[in-house]
Chain A
Amino acid sequence: MAIEDDVCVIGGGLAGMTAALRAAREGARVRLLSHKKSTLRHASGLVDILGYADGELVADPFDMLSLLPKTHPYRRVGNDAVRAGLSLFDDVTGDAYRGTHTDANALVATHGGTVKPTARYPARVAPGLASRDRKTLLVGFDSLTAFDAPLAADHLAAAGVPGTTRGVTVAFPGDFRADSRVTRFARALDDDETVETASGSTPVRRALARTLESHLGNAERVGFPAVLGEEESQEVREALESSLGVDVFEVPMGPPSLLGLRLEALFQEALDEAGVRRTTGNPVTEFDASDGRIQSVSTDRNGRPTPFHADEFVLATGGLVGKGIDSDREEVIEPVFDCHVPHPDDRYEWFDDEAFGDHPFARFGVDVDDDLRPLDADGGAEYDNLRAAGGVLGGADFAAEKSGSGISLATGHAAGRAAGAAANQ
């Protein structure tokens, strides 16, 4: 009768996919429910553990984890879970990612010209690490307004990165729409499409290299916005490197992000291989519980429920941005199971008066026990078979700490392992 699985994970972002994958490795039959396409396509593709603590740059996140407050998700799951989550990530991404050789943070230049401390980064980003003392040329395209290369270069210089950084804006060769999408440039480079240039018809990779010849100067490496191919990025980068005679790297961009799309694809392949059943398209809005246990959750399609039964459930619906935590003028809530979200009664205490101050709302989320089970107002588990992972957890300001992906991996791993093991009993 109906749709039944051992473990049902709600939410298709990094935490949900990690939990599903980990639970499947316990031998459980797992279903992953997500409302829309994965949020990873909005992500930079960089994976951080802990970039800042108390506003100070962190060199080695693993030195700092035990100093975090006890209510921080990292403290709930412990250092080993953080390492295990990261190791699962390394399994999934293989050669496509770098950073496994050290615990220390790498410094990656972002499209805004800031430097982001990060634990894992795509191989196509690797030659651009800001910590290397190299003469760098950043290249922007005039129709791709999300990356202003001269401005980003100035910001990096102001941040005091070693080496010199220049920025130049050029026209992407060929006759593309003024509002072309990143995927359009990527496909042109993948297929090495022929474009019309002042010197006649030319394959686009060569035309792009030629466009840069006069700007190259003494640059030792050249950074492009992350549009260098979707399927054939390695080949595109190699072709540009051999034409230009210098290292070529990509700068992670905002949504829609090709690096995020690539990461999404890698995780989906891993999920399919692990036999995780994915159902996407409708939000989970209701549930059925008895004897302190969730029996089923239901997705909603224009008023029509579809129930999914399971033994164990993982809530990985995201935080305030991902809509896993929501609020109105009265209260802050977790909309699927109505789990308790600790917050001051007076909403003027939810925020700090300074725009970039230490806002309490940034840490809003469900409180959990050491088994990641959400706690009610009295400190007891809301449901025996419900665990939470990722952004829905309270206690961390992931934007200030640069800890979002790490928390998703660590808590997704822990919740998935626990749910898979419980389902097997």
Chain B
Amino acid sequence: MSDAPTHDADEFEPVDVFETTEMDLRPGADDCYKCSTCDTSCPVAEVDDEFPGPKFQGPEQWRLKRKEDHEIDDSITSCSNCMRCDDACPSSVPLSQMHNTARGEYVENQRFGREALSALVDGSPREALEIVREGQDGLVERLRNRILANYHTSAWLASYAPSVANFVMNFGPARWAMAKTMGVTSEREFPAFADHTFREWWTARGGAQVSNPDKRIAYFHGCYSNFNTPEVGKAMVRVYEEFGYEILVPPQKCSGTPMFANGMLGDARRHAETNVKNLAAAIENGAEIVASCTSCSMALGQEYPELFDLDGIEDVAAHTYEGVEYLRLHEDLEDALDEASVEGSELAYHAPCHARNQGLDTQAVELFSDLDGVAIEDVGDSCSGISGTYGWKEEKYDYSMEIGEEMFEHMEHADGETGMTECPTCAMQMEHGTGYEIRHPLELLEEALVTGS
């Protein structure tokens, strides 16, 4: 192994400077030499002329807000947290981390109740009234964001009566009311809740079917494979068991992705505490963490150590993999696929933004291009435009579709009429824009490699 000396600049660890409760991103801000490359990689800035771009949201805003009279600019709520700016920056400025902390602070500042109360205590009822009045302006939007960010909770409730939930969620008048009162776009169809969750299936089958102390993984299924697409989770389990892995499914909550994007850092932290505790225990138990959603693996692998200081959080980051990635690194996946074949399918593959920064954007096309029966085509490096909850907001819907236009066009030009991606919300957008059925790479691996599938 390399014994090359390492350098302080590369080893900037924001959590090291947590002497106060404030996160100090000064070294990161100082690294920005204002080349604006991040701004030209930002899909939101490309379509939304009101959005000042990642350079402003990150280092510039960070410098501004060092002055006490500057509050976080409203425009931070327009950042979709696609994290493309991270990949663009030649100077390794921690842009998405800056955006996440700024958004968190912005949302925190909106909590007018506490300020109003302290104004009352100080004997200024007029000021307290003013604070409440001003604070109410964005109340509905904040409530909407909170509900979108806490998809985990709504999905959990819906899973008790998925068919009722599916009916209600897409019932015309209900959607009209949601758009009018809450600003959730009525242009999209809510994804259907499955009639059973992944975890219900897992329990019903009696948990792990393979026991192997030498090859053990802990599956982080996230909300979407649990509540909406349990077939992805099942594919994951069957493929890994085919390779002789013992699978653990630790208790888990939302990875926090939608919460980061909406500045709900308090909620995200609560969920992270549960996840880190249980995943760290799985690592103790000899397992590596594997997620089937690239935003979940992004959260565990990058956002967690950047935003929270929890016992074991760095261990979790350093042991987290995406589902196909882990197999590719630890098994002879290429040879296995060389010998396999599937029924003819032509696939239009879209790499999610969050796969990009993890170095996974070319993985599916590389792996499947030699699989018999498969023709797979990359539909380009544009963003799908939905970026989790972003495209669900009424005021962002048109931008979301404008960003997605390039991907839709490329999908339609591609030979296949089936889409493929790792990200559940990209899949929603791909389906919404083209009407194609969208598959997850793990489902294709299952078809190719699992006997009897």
Partner of B88, one of A37, A187, A278, A307: A37
A126-156 vs B, Cβ < 8 Å mask (1 yes, 0 no): 0000000000000000000000000000000
Q: How many whole Å from B273's CB to the nearest CB in chain A?
A: 19
Which single residue of chain A is at the shortest CB-CB distance from B49?
A177
- Chain B residue numbers with a CB within 8 Å of A184 are 46, 49
> Given contacts A181-B39, A287-B1, is CB(A281)–CB(B357) below 8 Å?
yes
CB distance from B381 to the nearest CB of A (A): 9
Size bracket, chain B contacts: 35 or more
A42 to B88, CA, bound (A): 11
Taking CB atoms, residues of chain B closer than 8 Å to A181 are 36, 39-40, 45, 53
User: Given the complex, which residues of A lie within 8 Å of B359, measured CB to CB?
Assistant: 279-282, 299, 301, 306
Is the interface on chain A under 10, 10 to 19, 20 to 34, or 35 or more residues? 35 or more
Cβ–Cβ contact A302 & B301, under 8 A? yes
| Contact pattern, B 338-357, Cβ under 8 Å of A = 1, otherwise 0 | 00000000000000000011
B37 touches which of A2, A3, A256, A288 (Cβ 8 Å): A256
Q: Which residues of B contact A280 (CB under 8 A)?
A: 87, 356, 359, 361
Q: Is the CB of B318 within 8 A of A303?
A: yes
Closest Cβ of chain B to A35, distance in Å, is 8
A407 at interface (Cβ–Cβ under 8 A)? no
B280 to chain A, nearest CB (A): 14
Tell me, yes or no, whether B391 is within 8 Å of chain A by CB. Answer: no
Contacting B at CB under 8 A, from A327-375, are 328, 333-338
Given A42-B37, A181-B40, A181-B53, do A277 and B357 touch, yes or no (CB 8 Å)? no
Cα A105 to Cα B329 in complex, Å, equals: 48
- Whole-angstrom distance from the CB of B226 to the nearest CB of chain A? 25
From residue B141, how far is it (CB to closest CB) to chain A in Å? 24
Interface positions of B from 359 to 401, Cβ below 8 Å from A = 359-362, 366
Identify the stretch in B3-11, B123-131, B149-157, B227-235 within 8 Å (CB) of chain A at 4 or more residues: B3-11
Q: Are A36 and B320 in contact (CB under 8 A)?
A: no
Please tell me if the beta carbons of A338 and B366 are within 8 angstroms of each other in the complex.
no
Residue of B nearest to A339 (CB): B4
Q: Which residues of B contact A338 (CB under 8 A)?
A: 2-5
A124 CB to nearest chain B CB (Å): 18
A2 to B325, CA, bound (A): 10
Contact B7 A328, beta carbon cutoff 8 Å: yes
**B332 part of interface (Cβ distance < 8 Å):** yes
A233 within 8 A of B: no
In the complex, chain B residues 33-60 whose Cβ is within 8 Å of any chain A Cβ: 35-37, 39-41, 45-46, 49, 52-53, 56
Interface residues of A (CB under 8 A from B): 1-3, 36-37, 39, 41-42, 176-177, 179, 181-184, 187, 254-256, 261, 277-282, 285-288, 299, 301-304, 306-307, 326, 328, 333-338
- With A179-B52, A335-B6 known, 13 other A-B pairs at CB within 8 A are A37-B37, A37-B41, A42-B35, A256-B35, A277-B362, A281-B356, A281-B357, A301-B358, A304-B317, A306-B325, A336-B4, A337-B2, A337-B4
